[in-house]
C-alpha cells in the first residue's frame, strides 16, 4: 500500500511539473552597460531607444536603469511600434523587489514576440536617476548582436508616454532595457484550461489504477 501511495505521489508531481509554465534558461539583455553615462534626474521624461531585432525573439523581462541602490518608486516600462501603439507594458516594483542584472532592474512579463526586421520603441518613466549609453553624455558597454539600435528616444511627459523625440544618437537613454530569448529556444508557454484538465484527469487515472491494483492484491491474498 505504501509503495502504491509513493508511486501515485511521484507520478502526480511529474505531471504537474510538465504542465507548469515553462521559461527556458538563457535570457539575455539587449544592452549591457559597463560604465553608465552621466547620471541625472529621470523626471519628467519617458526615456529609451528605437531598435530592430534581426531575428524573431521573445521579450521575457522589461527593465529600467538602476544605479544599484534600488528604485525610489515603481517604474512603468513599455514597448511601442513606431506608430505609437503600445504593444506591451509592465511595472518594475519599487525598492529592490525587481531582479537586478547589471545596471538594470527587471520584472517578468508574459513572453511577447518581436518580429525580425520590424522597428520598435522601448521606454520607461521614472522620477529617479537616469543615464545613457553611447550618447553625447557618455556611457559605454555592449549591445546584443541580435539587435540594431536605430536611435535614442525620449519625450517630456508626466507619465509613461510614447518617446517620439530623438537627438539622433545611435544609442539609448537609460531609461529602459529588455531581456529576451530567441525563438530557436523552446517557446515559453502558459498552460490552457484544457491542459490543466488533462493533467488532473491523468492524476485521477493514476490514482484509480493504484486503487484497483491494491484491491486486486487483497483479493488474491
Q: What is the pLDDT of residues 12-57, one digit of tens each?
A: 445 444 444 344 446 999 999 999 999 998 888 999 999 999 999 9
Geometric angle at alpha carbon 83, from 157 and 141, rounded to 5°: 70
For residues 141 and 207, state if they share a domain: no
Query: Residue 203's domain spans which residues?
Result: 2-20+191-220
Please state, in angstroms and rounded to a whole number, the distance separating the CA atoms of residues 199 and 205. 10
For residues 72 and 145, state if they share a domain: yes
CB atoms within 10 A of CB 45: 23
Best CA proximity match to 123, nearest among 164, 180, 66: 164
For residues 120 and 174, state if they share a domain: yes
* Residues 6 or more apart in contact with residue 213 via CB below 8 angstroms: 4
Q: What is the pLDDT of residues 54-100, one digit of tens each?
A: 999 999 999 999 988 899 999 999 999 999 999 999 999 999 999 99
Please state, in angstroms and rounded to a whole number, the distance separating the CA atoms of residues 177 and 162. 15
For residues 127 and 49, state if they share a domain: yes
- Determine contact, residues 131/37, Cβ cutoff 8 Å: yes
For residues 67 and 138, state if they share a domain: yes
Residue with the bigger pLDDT between 78 and 196: it is 78
**Alpha-carbon separation of residue 6 from 11, 207, 208, 220 (angstroms):** 9, 11, 14, 22
Amino acid at each position: 500500500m505504501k509503495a502504491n501511495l509513493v508511486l501515485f505521489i511521484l507520478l502526480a508531481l511529474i505531471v504537474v511539473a510538465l504542465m507548469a509554465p515553462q521559461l527556458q534558461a538563457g535570457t539575455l539583455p539587449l544592452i549591457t552597460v559597463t560604465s553608465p553615462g552621466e547620471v541625472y534626474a529621470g523626471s519628467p521624461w519617458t526615456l529609451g531607444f528605437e531598435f530592430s531585432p534581426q531575428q524573431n525573439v521573445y521579450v521575457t523581462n522589461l527593465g529600467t536603469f538602476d544605479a544599484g541602490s534600488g528604485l525610489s518608486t515603481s517604474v512603468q516600462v513599455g514597448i511601442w511600434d513606431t506608430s505609437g501603439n503600445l504593444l506591451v507594458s509592465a511595472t518594475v516594483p519599487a525598492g529592490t523587489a525587481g531582479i537586478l542584472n547589471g545596471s538594470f532592474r527587471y520584472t517578468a512579463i508574459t513572453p511577447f514576440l518581436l518580429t525580425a526586421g520590424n522597428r520598435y520603441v522601448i521606454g520607461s518613466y521614472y522620477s529617479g536617476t537616469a543615464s545613457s549609453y553611447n550618447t553625447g553624455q557618455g556611457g559605454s558597454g555592449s549591445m546584443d548582436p541580435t539587435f540594431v539600435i536605430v536611435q535614442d528616444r525620449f519625450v517630456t511627459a508626466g507619465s509613461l508616454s510614447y518617446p517620439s523625440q530623438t537627438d539622433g544618437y545611435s544609442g539609448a537613454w537609460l531609461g529602459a532595457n529588455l531581456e529576451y530569448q530567441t525563438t530557436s529556444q523552446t517557446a515559453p508557454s502558459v498552460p490552457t484550461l484544457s491542459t490543466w484538465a488533462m493533467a488532473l484527469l491523468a492524476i485521477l487515472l493514476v490514482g484509480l489504477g493504484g486503487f484497483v491494483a491494491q484491491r486486486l492484491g487483497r483479493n488474491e491474498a
